[in-house]
Amino acid sequence: MATVPNKANEFENIPSIKAKTLRINLNPDIYGTFAEIGAGQETARHFFRAGGASGTIAKAMSAYDKAFSDAIYGVEEDGRYVTQARLKTMLSHEMQLVEERIDRKSNPDYRFFSYANTVATIDFSKRYKGHGWIGLRFQLDPNQKEHDEIILHIRFKQNEARLQQETLGILGVNLIYGAFFKFNRPKKLLKYLYDHIDKDTIEIDMVNFTGPNFRDVDNRLMSLQLIKNDMTDAVMFGPDGNNLLPAAVLYKKNILALRGSFRPVTKVNMDMFQKSYDIFVRDQTVDMDKTIVIFEITLSNLKASGEIDEQDFMDRAELLCSLGHTVMISKFQEYYKLVEYFNNYTKARIGLTMGVNNLVDVFDEKYYRHLSGGILEAFGKLFFKDLQVYLYPMKNAQTGQIMTSNNVKVHPRMKELYKFFKYNGKVMDIIDYDPDIMHIFSRDVLKRITNKEEGWQEMLPEGIAEIIEQKDLFVRKDLPEAQEVDEE
């Protein structure tokens, strides 16, 4: 099969898939099982073809029939098969079997592994491209009691099941090879997953590293790599720092999204969130138990000062997670793309919390010149069905005037369009805002922190200043001031 190296690897000496599998097969210590459901035994096939597989493969199986699968692994609570829970069950079951059945006294140097995937390839109608979970549980040391684990979620982009199967097989080989030979360079390991795979064929939208050899790996930073490497358009992580699958988090949920720089998160950010959330959940169509709040940072915001400063990103993430929030990093500079993304997973209520400056930008035609339908096409996607904007006011520094949806100034050509959405209830003012904090902007707080000035502490939510001071966030080096739109 002809392969196309991606641009990230084109100047590197990439081992062929056969060379990778042969290196593993000829290693006398690497020994384990393959359990592949939904797309054939595509990864195991590469190891069999390379030769010497008897020293590596303890067992290879495909429990295709649901009854057989349930008989082997049990029935999942949700009754589904292409899930992270199913994958983890497979990994655990297979690893336990190999450890029980292989005598350690006779094989003291064996480093066990269990590779598994559970996927759904493209359907016959070609409406759903397919997706899946891939994972590896393994030992880097034969005496290792706690296993290491890498789990990925993928989305297929190809239009033929056969091509998806081939891509899955190569990805599996890259994962196993990377785990054993590149484990100490997790960022590189992620890039190597696309060896001999074109990025247009598959998307990796979630990854988590766990285990003793990955204790220093922050999965939020791994999420950032997926975005930086163009492996996906959006990633999410929870308050515990572990990465989340956006599709699972957003599925059929009411979504309230707050975009900002959060550099650092301020009292204004939290007031925007709390006041808009109060309005959002009062809506009779919104079920609080089926509602998710997203604090979103765009990739362009992370790049506002040039290249992404990973420590700066981690500082922002640290504070948002400490407040118990779910964070999204996206490539969607325009709001309509963010809403379009949400609409892939839910038809429920969507709310966007934004400041006056952001609303003015939404009605700026320059952001939509690349669309054949211009701003009307974008607005058709942005204000689709149940979307509502919750507008936080801004105080004019020169005049002291409070700017709201009633006196905001958009381009003259956009006035009638703005009135249409305003009068149809798509823009709602937050009226119970805190007037005593309207002078606070993240950029000013950041400048005070980096210049070691006083007075910034009271501008932040309770407990945040203490975290910044204890962990020296934002002050280890002089961070360049971002040339960014105010997003409070």
Taken as a whole, the chain contains a residue count of: 488
User: What's the pLDDT score for residue 354?
Assistant: 95
Q: Is 251 left (phi over 0), alpha (psi -120 to 50) or beta?
A: beta
User: What's the pLDDT score for residue 379?
Assistant: 85
Q: How far is CA 117 from CA 36, 68, 132, 169, 473, in A?
A: 5, 16, 7, 10, 39
Q: What is the pTM of this model?
A: 0.89
User: What's the pLDDT score for residue 12?
Assistant: 59
User: What's the pLDDT score for residue 487?
Assistant: 44
Distance CA 130, CA 32 (A): 27
User: What's the pLDDT score for residue 227?
Assistant: 94
User: What's the pLDDT score for residue 180?
Assistant: 97
Beta bridge partners of 390: 353, 428
Give 10-residue mean pLDDT values along the chain (488 residues): 47 85 96 92 95 94 87 89 94 96 93 96 82 97 95 95 95 98 95 95 96 96 94 95 93 96 95 97 93 94 81 93 95 92 93 93 86 86 83 88 91 88 90 94 92 93 94 68 42
User: What's the pLDDT score for residue 116?
Assistant: 97
Q: Is 88 exposed, middle or buried (0-12, 13-18, 19+ CB in 10 A)?
A: middle
User: What's the pLDDT score for residue 9?
Assistant: 46
